[in-house]
Amino acid sequence: MGKIKVTPCQEIEGLKVIEPTVFGDSRGYFMETYNYNDFKEAGIDVVFVQDNQSASHYGVLRGLHFQISHPQDKLVRVVRGEVFDVAVDLREGSKSFGRWYGTILSAENKKQFFIPKGFAHGFLVLSDIAEFTYKCSDFYHPNDEGGLLWSDPDIGIDWPVPKGMTPELSEKDRLWKGIKDYRR
C-alpha cells in the first residue's frame, strides 16, 4: 500500500476520507485517483460501474440524495473548486442512524470521500465554480431516487452557508421531507 492514506470517520462507521499520494515537480503533478488493489487493501472492496461529473456555481447545494432499491457506494472528489461534502447515515439498525459527517473536498487538497451504501449524500459549492466527480457501484435508476431535506433540523447539518446567502436548490431538492418521514 502507501499510495493512499485512508482515514476512517470516527463518528460514523463506513465513511472514509482518502488522500492519494501526489507526485509533483516543476511540470505539475501526477496522482493515481483509483486503484482497485490499493482500495481493497484499505478495506474498500467495491467494483464501480459508473462515473459521473457535474459542474455547479457558488452557493449551489445538491442533495441529499440516495437510491432506494439500488443503493450505491460512492467515491467522490472535486477536480476544480471546493465543496462541503456531506453523508447522512440511513442504515437500518445503525447506531449512528440519522447522524451526518461533512468534509471539505477541493481540487487543491485532492481528498476523496468514500460513502458506502445506505447513506444520503449532498454537497454545497464554496468556490466560484466546482467540478465534482464520483464513481458509483450501481447504475443510476431515475425512478428509484430518494432524498432528504438539506435543512432538516432533526439531522442538523452545520452547512457552512455564509451569512446572507441562501443555497440554490433544484425544485426536487426543495421538496424532500425530513428524516422523521424517511421510509426505506
User: Is 57 among the catalytic positions?
Assistant: no
Active-site residue, selected from the candidate residues 65, 101, 121, 182: 65
Contact 87, 150 (CB under 8 A): no
Contact 138, 49 (CB under 8 A): yes
Contact 102, 85 (CB under 8 A): yes
**Backbone phi and psi for residue 39, each to the nearest 5 degrees, phi listed first:** -65, -40
Active-site residue, selected from the candidate residues 101, 121, 134, 182: 134
User: Is 29 among the catalytic positions?
Assistant: no
Catalytic residues: 65, 134
